[in-house]
Structure 1
Amino acid sequence: MRICIVTDAWHPQVNGVVRTLDTLRGELKRSGHKVLVLSPKMFRTLPCPTYPEIRLSVNTPFRLSAILRRWQPDAIHIATEGPLGWAARRYCRKNGLAFTTAYHTAFPEYIAARSRLPARWFYPIFRRFHAASEGVLVATPTVRDQLSDKGFERIVPWTRGVDTRLFHPRPDARFDLTGPIQLYVGRVAVEKNIEDFLKARVPGTKVVVGDGPALSSLRQKYPDVRFLGALFGEDLAQAYAAADVFVFPSKTDTFGLVMIEALACGTPVAAYPVQGPLDVLGPDGTGPFANWSKPVAALNDDLDTAIRQALTLDRGDCAAFAQNYSWNTVTEQFVTALRPLPVEESHPLPLP
């Protein structure tokens, strides 16, 4: 099948959406599918206001239409609700083409965190975006229930996976810092609630991996924290494996792929008992799987308590637990959810 994935989130951005879609592309190709990722790299872009690391595509309607008409995909999946996502939605609606979407990010809550306006003001926009979709792919039951309560329809489960070929224990990985090493990986931004982690009082060294609009101010405010910037591939996996505990302070993430990546590297997780961690790790830290009963994470309304509890957990259990998040399942769910388009005579573009 020729699959087009439309996404406003792509390299060089560093986040769970990009890693999920990039790995998905590889898995689809290994399964024999042809994949076109229609991303901002194919368009002229401008920096997003207040968030210059994110590039917003411009001149999208005409170029996007030309690419899709010439490449003639068998199925279209719109992964994000940005300029490219809206342009692809308009194209599909205009031409009577079915498509699927995904709810990767709780954007209404993110916008609320940055604007201090109520999140409920923004939900109608996102509900309208997804209303025309043949299937809205969501990662967890909590997100499914939340969206259903807000009037979203045709919600389809789509779990997440971890690349255990990259993320796995490395017994020799070390930070030359005073332990215990407490690690955060993700965007350095207000919506990630990162200051709750930076204010935690557990002795040791805090390490932050990632970039974002709050990086400069937090570096000045917390001089004892080691800010390493964005890391990729082996360097990122080494950082996970070298930490004693992975701290996930976000209260708005729909899943939190970084938690599974950390666990795959043998590092236990400390988090709040909120959406994302509750679905992925369970209230008692043993996860949602019937065949698993050992704690790999500590969830507590007091983050210091969660960190201390997580530091006592077995690293071997953490790595074994992450094996439950199989990319075979992720890929199968994605392909099953797609809605094939009518077959037309085409002159496809070369694959990128």
Structure 2
Amino acid sequence: MTDLHLWLRHEVRSTERRTPIVPADARRLVGSGVTLTVEESPQRIFPIEEYEAAGCRVAPAGSWTRAPEAAVVIGLKELPDRPDRLAHRHIFFGHAYKQQPGAEELLRRFAAGGGALLDLEYLVDDTGRRLAAFGFWAGYLGAALAVLQHRGRLAAPLTPTSKEELDEGLRPAAGDEEFTALVIGALGRSGRGARVAFLTAGVEATAWDLAETRDLDRPALLGHDVLVNAVLATTPIPPFLREQDLDDPARRLRTLCDVTVDVGSPLNVLPVYDRTTEWTAPVRRLREEPPLDLIAIDNLPSLLPLESSTDFSAALLPELLRFETGGSWGRCLDRFHQTCRELGIDKGEFGDV
């Protein structure tokens, strides 16, 4: 391991309790020669004392802007709006490569400062398979919230919980009516998580994947009570739901959960809403008669921060241990450069990973 300095930043979003590096894996990184600085954070699921005990340095929240130039800043969700110039290499989910709102502005901040985005969504092996993802828990929680909403038991605001407590609330209770559920993208990580949650709730969900969506049976889709979308499109495909489908008099669909939340992207397969829902108001009514409720929360796994962080960190650790060798990180950097070229952004001197 060459001299690598990782800087684990505090998340500015108040509902983000996850971390990409848990203390046990921090200890392994430090033991391998990595310098790991961890910012204090009031909401991170693991207390700062556990990172100190693992041999990490401690820094104030938000101090990554003053980190040594060679440090690699790592987080999960969006950066704050300042500074205008981003000088470091940043590892996080940037949501910047599919024309999402604010994407070009973010990439221009990197170009202005000479930094680079190493987007975790594009950390893949040489076959294109994601190497670290929250998908299973996103699908699990998406289906769980859809079940609770459909049964009239979803309380707001949402608060983080444990899997045991969540599962207890999912189990059928006296008076619960049976309902049908459909998972699209059922064979992927998120789809598998959704199916497991439905089974916990006593529901055998219909499972659709590529074969079932090539020639979409819209009446069959609208004939389910609950729909969970776990498809993140990378090329244009016909949308699964359109505005006219919501007004179809034969629509039985009452609860829709979009796990992938690709709102604002031209590749969005559910272009029937224009903004996410939040922990404070997790459900939005799309139609009144017959009712149709939407759940579209873009950090679902943070509701199970311990389980989701532990799994993600375990998958990410091997990639961090070989950070300087290129490979998957080189592919991340290539994707960053490619998108900047496509947008005509002057990248300046980014250097090598």
TM-score range, shorter chain: 0.3 to 0.5
TM-score, with length taken from structure 1: 0.36
Q: Which has the higher helix share?
A: 1
TM-score, with length taken from structure 2: 0.36
